[in-house]
Structure 1
Amino acid sequence: MVEIVIASIILVLILFIVGYFMRKKYYKEVDNLETRKLELMNRPVMEEMAKVKKLNMTGQTEEMFERWRAMWDDIIAVQLPNIDEMLFYAEEYSDKYRFKKAKETNIKIEKMLEDIEVQISQILEELAELIGSEEKNREEIEGLLDQYRNSKKNVLAHRHIYGVAAEKLEELLDAVGEKIANYEELTNGGNYLEARKVVITLASELEQLITKMEKIPDLLTECQTVIPSQKNELRDGFNDMKQQGFVLEHLQIDRQFEELDEELNTYIEFLKATETEEVEKGLQEVKEKIDNLYDLLEKEVYAKHYILQENENADATLQQLKEVNREISHETKIVQHSYQLLQDDLETPSKFDKNLSQLSKRYEILKAKIDEENTAFTLLSDELKEIDAQIKALQQEQNEFIVKLQNLRKDELEVRKNIEILQKKIKEIIWLVKKSRMPGLPGDFESLFEQAEEQIEDVLKSLEEKPLNMNSVQKFLYDATDTVDYLYSRTEEHIENAHLAEKVIQYGNRYRGRNPQLRASLEKAEQAFRNFEYKSALEQAATAVEEIEPGALKRIEEIYHDDFVKQ
């Protein structure tokens, strides 16, 4: 029983402590909601609404003011008292430990406070918008009125510079004046927000109108004075050139002038309606067309100058080409007796004659057109330039063929010079063999020597043929040169191997009596030497000596090369 009593006491204490803290929590929530309610009550709604009373309390302003006041009265007289009553109940529920009910009540109060805050924020925002619109309107309208007055004064005082656009500008200014009157009417009627829209529209329209007024005088001058003047100058130049004999029908200048007149009339109509953007873009294209016409006439002048300057040169050059062709034909026949020419080379003079004949006919046709004076100089100059390019190409081909014929003789002389060099090299090989005092040479050396002499003889025989076939001569010379060069290098190799083999055998003789194996190797090397196998003799002797005295071969080679340099 004692334990049950103690447990009951502890349970009661726990419930008391939990209830105390829960009640304290809800008291605090009620206090926070009360603070939030007071903050909303103290928002400067009435102060801001008092500012509205300084405005014209009619129309839209009056309607909005009455709505705001009704909303605020409802908040103060109905919604906030209801919240006070619910805060009282929430506190009472906490006192009675009815925490669930207290929580539900606090949630409802918080929702009501949020709705009130939304309403107050809406009122303050609309107040700020209205008051701000009135301030901005007052600040901006003065500048817009100045712009309007200056623009109207400008059109009236300088109507002549706006020409056909003056009437439309006055209409646009009248429309601006109507919007200004509408603004004043809206402001006097308290419709400041609607007046704000009018001010924004006025600012945009006046900016566009002033921009047009700045551009129109210059654009009118371009359309009515500058471009017509340029067109007249162009027409005068066109007529002068026709009198000087220029053929200009292909340019269709008259038709283009008509198109320019039509375009200018169209742009003047655009200016009459104050549509400046279309005119700016169109006038740029008109200027480009006029510049293009000037360029075309200028090209005709340059083309005539080119024809007068280059026509006689082309005629003289064609005559010169014909003379060169005759010389080429004559030279080809002479060379043909001494040298064998390829079929293409034999046909080259005829090909030159054919190309020159076609080129001459083309030039004669061009010359006739020039004399007739019925063709534009640009077309004639293009044709003359093409003919001139073909003349230069034919000249290049002629020069290359002449050089080719001349090179045949040069090639023959070069071959004869190379033959002398090969013959001299053969004599040098014989001298080197005699000087080396070798006991003899390998069998393949003699056959290689005979082959070299036979190939040199083949070259000499091919040079004696008439007509001379230089391709065949060059082939024989290439083979002979290759063989002689190889023979020379083999000769040097045999001489060096023979001398080194002899030196190594002599060096190894100092060990011959003491080393039977060395003696046997040296005897084999000597036998190879007597058989003219110098490379084999060197390898056998060097191997044997290196086994007895490593590095001996290197020292022997150094001594040999030093002696060779001294010689």
Structure 2
Amino acid sequence: MLNVIIGIVIIIIVIYLAVVVYQRTQLKRANTMSTELSRLQNLSLTEQIQQVKQLTLTGDSLIKFKDAQQSYEQVHQEQFPAIAQSLTAAESDAKGVNFLQTRDDVDTAHAQLEKAATTLDQVQATLTNIQKMEQDHQQAVVDLETNYQKIRKTLLNDNRQYGPAIDALEGQLSSLEDTFADFSALTQQGDHQNAEAMLGDLKKATTTLEQKMNSIPELYEQNHVQFINQLTEIESAYAKARAEGFCFVDDDFAVTLKELHQAVQDNLENIKHLDLDFVREQDNEIEKRINALYDRLEAEMKARLFVDKKKDVTGQFIHHAWKQNQMLLAELDRLSHNYSLEHGEIENAERLKEQISMINQKYQYDCQLIQENQAVFSQIATDLSQFNQSLSNIEKKQRALNDSIADLSEEEKQAQQTLEDLSAELHAIHRRIENLNLPGISSDYAEYFDVVKNEVKHLKATMNKAKISMDDVQKQLGQIKRDRDQLQAKTSDLIDQSLLAEQVIQYANRYAATNPQMAQAIRKAQEQFERDYRYEDSLATIATALDQVEPGAFNRIEESYYKNKAHAN
């Protein structure tokens, strides 16, 4: 029981302490708001209200000022007393135990205090804004009036630089001055809200007018002076060029110049109506077309200088190429009686002749155009460049063609000498075989020797013809040389095999009496040598038998043979 009582007491104490803490918290809030209330009460806007009240206000500005003044008086007369009453009630309730009522009183006072503070801020902002607009508008009146006087003075003193735009500029200035008068009147009347709305448009329109005045002199100068001077210059240059014999492809100079003169006049009209963006767009197009005319004139002038420099040189080049071609054709005709020209030499020379003739025809036509003052020099310059390039290529081809036939006679002499050398080689080979005093030669070797001999004979017949085909001659020479080389190899083998066979048989005879197998091998080798003329087989038979009786003997004999042969050569 005692514990229960103690627990209840503790709970009561805790609740009491909590209430006390809460009440003190609320009381602290109330004290803070009392301090804030005092600050707001001391924040006097009366002097600022009196300053604004001294201004001559009308319209929306006057209405906003009266509303602000009324709100200020309402805060002081009604809201501040209500806030003080709520804070007093909160302090009184905080001394009791009705903490809920204390909280309500504090919350009410807080809401009232925030509302009053917000109202005062709005009142102060309204008053400051009215004062600032009044100052800004008074200054704007001075600045704009000074600016308009400056603009009018500029238009009066420098009106020539604005050309046809002067009337429109003065008209826009007069319109701005009328609007400015209305703005100035509203400012003097104190209707600053409506004056502020008008001021933005007035500044923007003034800036736009100044920008136009800055742009127009350059645009007017370009159209009234520069373009006119350029067109006059082009007209003069064109007339002079035509008088000096110049012609132009699709000659539309007269039409284009007329169109450009009209475009310039139209653009001056656009300047008159202050349509400056369109003026700039048209200026770009006019400038582009004028530059194109200049470029065409300059191109023809440069082309004529090139033509004057290259025309005679090209004519000489054509004459040189023609003469070269005639000499080439004459040489081909002479050679065709003795040689078969099998690579289209004559046909190629004739085609080059046709090309030179066509170039000459075009060249003569261009010269006639120049003489008759009908030449488009840029086209003729292109023709001359192409002529010279084509003639250079023709010259290279004719030189290569001439080189290809220039050595035919020398080639024939060399072929004849080679043929004689081959005949001598065949004779030497025949003598070498005869000097061996062999019992005979194999049919294979004899047939191959006859093949080479007949090839030489056939080549002699070919070269004795009235008209020689050097292609055929060179082809036969190539084949004969290859077969000659093969015959030389076969001859060397025949000589080496026969001589070695004889030496080995002679060496092996020392074993014939004591070795029946060796005696039999010697007989077989001699039969292959003397009866069948198979010298390679004879050497193989006796070499094998000798190595069985005396290993290494054949290698010594063979090495000695080739060593002696090398010394002999």
**TM-score band w.r.t. shorter chain:** 0.5 to 0.7
Offset at residue 198 of structure 1 (A): 3.5
Tell me how far apart the structure 1 counterparts of residues 120 and 372 of structure 2 sit (CA, whole Å).
98
Tell me how far apart the structure 1 counterparts of residues 307 and 140 of structure 2 sit (CA, whole Å).
71
Kindly, what percent of the aligned residue pairs are identical?
A: 19
Which residue is 1:521 aligned to? none
Which residue is 2:525 aligned to? none
Distance change in 2, residues 1:344/1:3 (3 Å): farther
Which residue is 1:87 aligned to? 87
Answer yes or no: is the 8 Å Cα contact 1:303–1:377 preserved in 2: yes
Which residue is 1:394 aligned to? 394
Q: TM-score, normalised by structure 2?
A: 0.66
Q: Deviations over 1:330-357 (max 9, x none)?
A: 5667888999987466753243234333
Which residue is 2:133 aligned to? 133
Offset at residue 62 of structure 1 (A): 2.0
Which residue is 2:511 aligned to? none
Offset at residue 405 of structure 1 (A): 6.0
Counterpart of 1:298, as a letter, is E
Tell me how far apart the structure 2 counterparts of residues 476 and 103 of structure 1 sit (CA, whole Å).
132
Which residue is 1:292 aligned to? 292
Q: Deviations over 1:294-313 (max 9, x none)?
A: 22122222223333332222
Which residue is 1:315 aligned to? 315
Which residue is 2:382 aligned to? 382
Which residue is 1:204 aligned to? 204
Answer yes or no: is the 8 Å Cα contact 1:339–1:469 preserved in 2: no
Where do 1:60-79 residues align within 5 Å? 60-79=60-79
Where do 1:115-130 residues align within 5 Å? 115-130=115-130
Residues 82-91 or 227-236, more deviating: 82-91
Structure 2 segments unaligned to the other structure (5+ residues):
416-451, 487-550, 557-569
Considering only aligned residues, what root-mean-square deviation do their CA atoms show, in Å? 4.5
Task: Indicate the structure (1 or 2) with the bigger Cα radius of gyration.
Answer: 2
Residues 181-190 or 213-222, more deviating: 213-222
Distance change in 2, residues 1:26/1:307 (3 Å): same
Answer yes or no: is the 8 Å Cα contact 2:220–2:271 preserved in 1: yes
Counterpart of 2:123, as a letter, is I
Answer yes or no: is the 8 Å Cα contact 2:134–2:190 preserved in 1: no
Distance change in 2, residues 1:146/1:469 (3 Å): farther
Where do 1:71-470 residues align within 5 Å? 71-248=71-248, 250-329=250-329, 343=343, 347-402=347-402, 467-468=470-471
Tell me how far apart the structure 2 counterparts of residues 202 and 49 of structure 1 sit (CA, whole Å).
30
Answer yes or no: is the 8 Å Cα contact 2:141–2:184 preserved in 1: no
Counterpart of 2:183, as a letter, is Y
Offset at residue 284 of structure 1 (A): 4.2
Answer yes or no: is the 8 Å Cα contact 1:338–1:467 preserved in 2: no
Counterpart of 1:287, as a letter, is E
Tell me how far apart the structure 1 counterparts of residues 76 and 273 of structure 2 sit (CA, whole Å).
60
Tell me how far apart the structure 1 counterparts of residues 125 and 409 of structure 2 sit (CA, whole Å).
108
Distance change in 2, residues 1:473/1:97 (3 Å): farther
For the residue of structure 2 that corresponds to 1:143, the secondary structure is helix
Offset at residue 69 of structure 1 (A): 0.9
Counterpart of 1:272, as a letter, is K
Offset at residue 11 of structure 1 (A): 2.0
Counterpart of 2:117, as a letter, is E
Structure 1 segments unaligned to the other structure (5+ residues):
416-453, 484-526, 533-567
Offset at residue 223 of structure 1 (A): 2.9
Tell me how far apart the structure 1 counterparts of residues 308 and 213 of structure 2 sit (CA, whole Å).
53
Answer yes or no: is the 8 Å Cα contact 1:340–1:470 preserved in 2: no
Tell me how far apart the structure 1 counterparts of residues 473 and 89 of structure 2 sit (CA, whole Å).
130
Aligned residues: 454
Answer yes or no: is the 8 Å Cα contact 2:23–2:102 preserved in 1: no
Answer yes or no: is the 8 Å Cα contact 1:60–1:190 preserved in 2: no
Tell me how far apart the structure 2 counterparts of residues 220 and 234 of structure 1 sit (CA, whole Å).
20
Which residue is 1:486 aligned to? none
Answer yes or no: is the 8 Å Cα contact 1:338–1:468 preserved in 2: no
Counterpart of 2:366, as a letter, is L
Distance change in 2, residues 1:350/1:34 (3 Å): farther
Distance change in 2, residues 1:384/1:104 (3 Å): farther
For the residue of structure 2 that corresponds to 1:278, the secondary structure is helix
Answer yes or no: is the 8 Å Cα contact 1:186–1:195 preserved in 2: yes
